[in-house]
Amino acid sequence: MVAQVISSPLLIDHSAWSRLGQSALPRDRADAVFERMEAGELVVCLPFLLEAGYSARAADEHAALISRLQKQPRATVDEHAEERAICAQGQLARVGHHRLAPPDLIIAALADRDGLGILHYDADYDVIRERTGLDFESVWLAPRGTL
């Protein structure tokens, strides 16, 4: 299976970000993501920034990473996104899928609100897209199961 073409702009999820350096990811795919980042076509949000910061091993690494990421366009969480995430969780609960990660629901609600796709490596986004009223493009960093 060939990886999807990256459309823009995309809200990036930590599941994709954390895999950009993996040797199993084709170099051209990682380069395409970094090119989008340089062009300001990767959008970040608070849940992503906190997850990325959590991965830092030391204070100086955290500061450098967050400083770099905060230069990207940002989708901010507002009351509308909060309500959309809660509503989506309720829709998932009605079909027995409400135990998905809360940050994923917030990111999906932001993507829906702002008309963004989500760049990820997480099947939860496909469940959210298929089982809720949230509408966004689900863009896998690489085909599922390859990283």
pLDDT for the residue 13: 98
Region 37-66 average pLDDT: 96
Per this entry, what is the length of the chain? Answer: 147
How far apart, in Å, do the first and last CA atoms of the chain sit?
Answer: 13
pLDDT for the residue 98: 78
Phi, psi (deg, nearest 5) at residue 108: -65, -40
Q: How far apart are CA 92 and CA 19, in angstroms?
A: 27
Region 33-48 average pLDDT: 95
Q: Which domains does the chain have, with CATH numbers?
A: 10-140 (3.40.50.1010)
Strand partners, 117: 10
Region 62-78 average pLDDT: 97
Indicate left, alpha or beta for 90 from its phi (over 0: left) and psi (-120 to 50: alpha). Answer: alpha
Strand partners, 119: 12, 139
Q: Is the backbone peptide bond immediately before 143 cis, with ω within 30 degrees of 0?
A: no
Strand 117-120 and strand 10-12: the pairing is parallel
pLDDT for the residue 5: 60
Helix count and strand count (H, E) for the chain: 7, 5
pLDDT at 101 over 90: yes
Q: How far apart are CA 91 and CA 37, in angstroms?
A: 33
Q: How far apart are CA 87 and CA 89, in angstroms?
A: 5
Residue type for position 15: S
pLDDT at 97 over 90: no
- Residue 2 confidence class, pLDDT cut points 50, 70, 90: very low
